[in-house]
A and B are shown apart, each in its own frame.
Chain A
């Protein structure tokens, strides 16, 4: 589904990603872990198409299409979803109105009729139950005055509504207490299928207790330096990142 080859990206002349290679197949969950500043969030942003980052080398193929050629909105319409680490507030725009605009633009791109109000609302109801989100939250201005947990839950709700093929969760666990973490993870798990894939970007192993990855990759200094299964995450939890840093840094000096 997603094939990243030798991806290099920089911001304001500083190279952050220095040759990422990653293959993600339908049905899989990949966790990207790594110490702070290793490039995890940059990878998520580059895949979603944030403009500040300049891709200097490499390619990203998503379902046969050159993802890097597409505008951010077209990537979304092709089925790439990014659950933001820091969802922005949009005053005066209700979540409902926002999502209806989004969903109908996605549908239009795919050659589908826009959903009328009735169908849209019943879809909302269905997905609300799925991710345990309160209707009251959705009639308020988007993310305005939401708690950290509410914002993250709203991200997952949007994901449920837009039914992406590839979901990228950027530090979705940050700022969540254990109950919110469980609810958010449940939502993500319910949305998984053998046709979709998930990339979970996280600093901590904790989230992976709930969203169990098939593969775990460790990102350090802009490269994937180690890949493994969920056991790798447990090992990282136990030993921290230092041993990996040492391994990589000493290899580099040889």
Chain B
């Protein structure tokens, strides 16, 4: 075995940092999926009738759908009857503010490096912390409330702002959109809701932190962001899960609605447990994320750093309906060991003079498979639509794979669509050059990878960028061959 391979083995066997779990008393639904379970969840959450009907309709549709098989990923079929669809830490009563939240739950987040204590936070980031199926705390609610910004858990929004939820829920990702979106619509338990009123620029980053703790539980959260006219919000999402031998299912839905002149920036650092180095365990991350630029001159920008999950199936997309609207997708997807990722975006140009930009950086190491799948569609009336796509792949070692599946569908002759793609390998020459300047191999790889992903990392809010850089380094240190 060459020295490089040894380093590869050593470093890729590095353990997942967030693999611990905590025992707390949980309120769980029995395993299995049927209408009764859905009624049980809905009742547990004291939901109005219309929402239960909506769930049941989604469930009935889902039952007649079949799992998509077109993605370039292979995994054992999920036994939906073996899963539990609801698990919540037991709290004596619903906490009204942070002081009332069980300190044990707060401690879970502290351990993840997320302080829910508002005073402790230097920078203003409001956090909604979702543990398994429920939101345990949302910070800075009062500060935001003064500006008319609503930032709360999804369940709370259903109770407090039913008119908004009713209006926008499923408006971007219809309940019947796809297999996992339908499943999510039927059983979603919690998530975040955010509404930015007209003309308001949200003064702090809003953030949701998802954590799966319970075993044999699926996490199905739902996020809905509505940016009213001329408003702005930057939204962050982070996630981790304990290290478990069995696979766990995460099927989330995120919907973004941007009215005219509104701008939404959505950033994700996804670090679900990727499975061990033999490919055992890990999260199945089957997520539907979509935004609609409904109004003219609106803008939605997705930035994602995907380092975790055993299998990822995810295409954050933009529907560019408003004239002059802009969609952006910046992605770094890293796979190592036996991870598989099939990720990319869809840019649907409907309005005139719409623009989209796609920058995708795939990094594959170990025996992983990394696919970019992207669709650019220009509809008939989308005069002067522009798209620029750049898809780069970086390979480490000779046992991994990188694949690119671009789909381009143009129905208007004035469209201008550009697609660039490159594939490269981290060179031994680059590593040696760094070594010769005194830089250790694992730091050299981190340096080279971060350089490669820089264009995407630059899109992240400052402190997220730092976390993302560390994650990239952790996931890949020394994966050379």
A147 partner residues in chain B, CB cutoff 8 A: none
Whether the pair A88, B429 counts as a contact (CB closer than 8 A) is yes
A93 partner residues in chain B, CB cutoff 8 A: 447-448, 450-451, 454
B407 partner residues in chain A, CB cutoff 8 A: none
Binary contact track A219-242/B, C-beta < 8 Å → 1, others 0:
000000000000000000000000
Binary contact track A14-53/B, C-beta < 8 Å → 1, others 0:
0000000000000000000000000000000000111100
A99 partner residues in chain B, CB cutoff 8 A: 437
The B-contacting residues of A in range 98-136, CB under 8 angstroms, are: 98-99, 101-103, 105-106, 109
The B-contacting residues of A in range 73-100, CB under 8 angstroms, are: 73, 75-77, 81-82, 84, 87-88, 90-93, 97-99
Whether the pair B438, A90 counts as a contact (CB closer than 8 A) is no
Whether the pair A48, B436 counts as a contact (CB closer than 8 A) is yes
Chain A, interface residues (CB within 8 Å), range: 20 to 34
Known A-B contacts A101-B443, A101-B447; the reply to A90 vs B432 at CB < 8 A is no
Known A-B contacts A51-B432, A84-B433, A87-B433; the reply to A73 vs B451 at CB < 8 A is no
Identify the closest chain A residue to B446 (Cβ).
A101
The smallest beta-carbon distance between B28 and chain A, in angstroms, is 46
Whether the pair B440, A90 counts as a contact (CB closer than 8 A) is no
Asked if B390 is an interface residue, CB under 8 A from chain A, the answer is no
**In the bound complex, CA of A158 to CA of B438 (Å):** 11
Asked if B453 is an interface residue, CB under 8 A from chain A, the answer is yes
CB contact between B437 and one of A49, A51, A97, A158 (< 8 Å): that residue: A158
B111 partner residues in chain A, CB cutoff 8 A: none
Whether the pair B428, A51 counts as a contact (CB closer than 8 A) is yes
**In the bound complex, CA of A159 to CA of B437 (Å):** 9
Whether the pair A49, B435 counts as a contact (CB closer than 8 A) is yes
Whether the pair A73, B447 counts as a contact (CB closer than 8 A) is no
Asked if B427 is an interface residue, CB under 8 A from chain A, the answer is yes
Whether the pair A162, B453 counts as a contact (CB closer than 8 A) is no
Whether the pair A73, B452 counts as a contact (CB closer than 8 A) is no
Whether the pair A92, B443 counts as a contact (CB closer than 8 A) is no
Whether the pair B436, A76 counts as a contact (CB closer than 8 A) is yes
Whether the pair A105, B439 counts as a contact (CB closer than 8 A) is yes
B440 partner residues in chain A, CB cutoff 8 A: 73, 105
Whether the pair A90, B433 counts as a contact (CB closer than 8 A) is yes
B443 partner residues in chain A, CB cutoff 8 A: 101, 105
Asked if A178 is an interface residue, CB under 8 A from chain B, the answer is no
Closest 5 interchain pairs by CB?
A: A92-B451, A93-B451, A72-B435, A102-B437, A92-B454
10 A-B residue pairs with CB within 8 Å: A76-B436, A76-B437, A77-B438, A81-B436, A84-B433, A90-B447, A90-B448, A92-B450, A106-B438, A162-B438
User: Interface of A with B (CB < 8 Å)?
Assistant: 48-51, 71-73, 75-77, 81-82, 84, 87-88, 90-93, 97-99, 101-103, 105-106, 109, 141, 158, 162
User: Interface of B with A (CB < 8 Å)?
Assistant: 2-4, 427-430, 432-441, 443, 447-448, 450-455
- Given A51-B4, A73-B436, A84-B433, 4 more pairs with CB closer than 8 A: A51-B428, A76-B438, A90-B430, A162-B438
